[in-house]
Structures are given as C-alpha cells and as structure tokens.
Structure 1
Amino acid sequence: MASVIIYTLRICFQCFGDLRDSLFFNFFTLVIGIIPIVIITIINQNIKLAYNLKQASEFNLKIESIKGNIEKEQTVCMFADNDKDMFEIQLSNLLYIEAVGNYVQIYYFIDSELKNVLLRSSLKRLELQLVDFPSLIKCHRAFIVNINQIDKVTGNSQGLKLSLKKRILKFRFHAIIQRI
C-alpha cells in the first residue's frame, strides 16, 4: 500500500513538478472517490429501511389475523433424544425455544414469571414434534417462537426484530414469510 502511495506521489511530482500541486491532486482524487461511496451507502441504507419497515407492518397485520384463529388451550409435549425425558406445557404459556448446542432451552411463563428449562434434543427434532402447532414457527436457525406471544414486529435498515412479551429478539423472517 505504501509503495502505491509513493509511486503515485512520484508520478505527481513528475507531472506537476510541485509538491503543493501534487497534494492537491491526491486530495482531489480522494474526494472524488469517497463522495460516490458515501452517497451510494446512504441510498442503500434508505432502501433497506423502507423495505424492512414495509415488511414489518405486513407481518404485524398477518400475525394479528393469525392470532385470533389459533386455539390457545392446547398442551405441547416435547420429548428429549432419549424419549424418556419430556416437557409438557400449555401452548399459551410457551414463549420461545432456543437451540443451545445439542440442547434446547425452552422459555415459558408460569404465573407471569419467565422461566426456562433445558432439554437434551436438537431443534430440528423438536421442530418435527411441533408440526401440529401452527402458532409455533421457526423464524431463525436457532429459534422457534410462539406467534401468540409476539407483541409487534419492527424494522430498521439492519433487519427485522420481534418484540415478545418481556423479550426482544432479532431474527431473519424468511421462514415466517413462508409459513404465514
């Protein structure tokens, strides 16, 4: 990198013969190079922001329409890899499930208090067990969320974010688009 700068300065000295003219030429070249990059970055961020805000508002409408159609008093049974350990909970109390290595962490409410339990199972295996529950959606490679627990979906130029009861999670919504 330094050799390129030295070579450029040498060329400039030969062309202009004066250090001041050479520095002006380098400054002018730098400004010409930076301005388009800054403008393109700002435009790109604004396009992403508009797209994600539109997606978030569409998701909020779809989720609200789905929430009313789902039966909330179902019991969810999740079995571990050994088929001996089991966790059972009402669907209305389940918040989300998170993959943690070879385990899954299940977050749920008991008397308005957030609790969690660790179960030895893969998220893929649990996802296959929960196929009969349309309100449980895999929205990220490491998370399954309960649609009934989603307060709102927000967006910015970096992506979309789920706001769950007492929790905020950032996800990619490709899987939710397909399921909703």
Structure 2
Amino acid sequence: MLPPVLKAIIIEDEPKAAQLLELMLIAVDPQTVVADICYDLPSGVRSIKKLKPDIIFLDIEMPGYSGLRLLEFFDKDEVNFGIIFTTAFNNYAIKAFELSAVDYLLKPLQEDKLLEAINKFRKRSASSQSQQIAALKQNLQSTENRKMAIPVANGLEIVKVHDLVYFEAEGSYTKIHIKQQQPILVSKKLKYFEDLLTEDPMFIRCHRSYIVNLQSIKKFVKSDGGTLILEDGKTLPISLDKVDEIVTSLNKLSF
C-alpha cells in the first residue's frame, strides 16, 4: 500500500530541467515531495540507498551512465521503488517504451501528463521493474528480437515480439496467441495492440477481430473473400477492405 505522501528523487543531469520538474510536482501534486535532486547516476544510486524513495524520476540520456543502468546497482530485493523515465526520444523510439510497459514522460514535460503518470503510479504498488527495463534496453537497441511486456494476473510476462502469432478480440479483452505456449487473455481492447504495433510492418489487422503476424502465415486462400492459414493450422478471415493490403504485404516478405 502506497503512503499518502510519496517521497521522490529526481535524477537529471540538466539542473534547469530538474528544477522545473520539482516546481511542476509542487504545482500538480503537493503530496509528491522531492527528497533529493541528483545530477548523475552514481549520486542518484547513493541517494536512493540512503533515502529509500517511493518513486524515481529518471532521465535516460546522461553523461557517464545511462539511466537505463540504474538497476544494475541494486540487488533484486532492494528495488522497492517505482521509476518514471523522462526522455527526449522521438515518437518512433517511444514505441520501445510502450512495448516494454515502462512509464515515461516525454520532454518537454507537460503538467497534465505528469499528474497522469503519478496517479497511474499511485494505483499500484511499487515493484521490481528489472524485466521491463531489460526489455526496454533490447527494444531501444534494435528492431530485431524486440520484446513485449504483457500484463498477466500476477505481474507482467515478457515475450519476444516475433513469437506473437496473432491477437484475437474478445469483447473488451484480447487473447494473445504465442508460439509454443498457452494464449494469454488481456484486459485491453484489440485497438490498443494495433496502436502499439503500428510501426511494425510484420503485424497487420486483417479483420476487425484479428491482428496477425505476417511471418506466421503459411498460405493465403482467395476463396470466400480471403482466408489466412497459419503455420499452426489455424485459419483467420480477412475483411474485404484488407485483402489488397494483405497481398501487398505478403509479396514484400523475404523468406
């Protein structure tokens, strides 16, 4: 259970940016109290160990050590704080954050987004984010072997993006079908995953109820408007307005 007052530490190498964030916190949520401001990662690590904050506002691009290396300096049982990254990465790179289910604030910071991030954090207990940050590192480094953090009953399950076979709408839920394991039912609509994967050419919404990984398709059948046969034998329908897009995308694949 989170305390009513959150103890925060800001780790940011630009003093003006750090001071602005502190002023914004005072304005939008006086219950979040800045206990320390650190201008590099080593001093941030020392401050965390000493002050034991509830939440860290962490810049990524800093001289010496990247903010992504923070958890390397802590044992697993010491990570009882939450992290909200502050970053100037562009919108394309932001997809890496969203795939990894890591909380972030895009610079220049906005008060409404800051308050939204704090309220989101308050709704859950601080927990280890080691897997999420490991996935984020991978997702930022390359487009290959990317990972997605999928919310499950007891936390998050990290899976490789290329192991995702297809997504199936089930009302307000989505069933995610993954290679060589049982499907995962997630309390998010299919549109959420469509937006999440919008920059990935391997995933396409073939029907109002399905998003498919093109690399999992074994055969395209023209009859009945169009059907996809997957490598595991599953068949998926194609909406009439998606047939040309599917055919064009399949023709671009190199095997």
- Higher RCO (CA < 8 A, seq sep 6+): 1
Normalising by structure 1, report the TM-score.
0.50
> Which of structures 1 and 2 has the bigger CA Rg?
1
More helix as a share of residues: 1
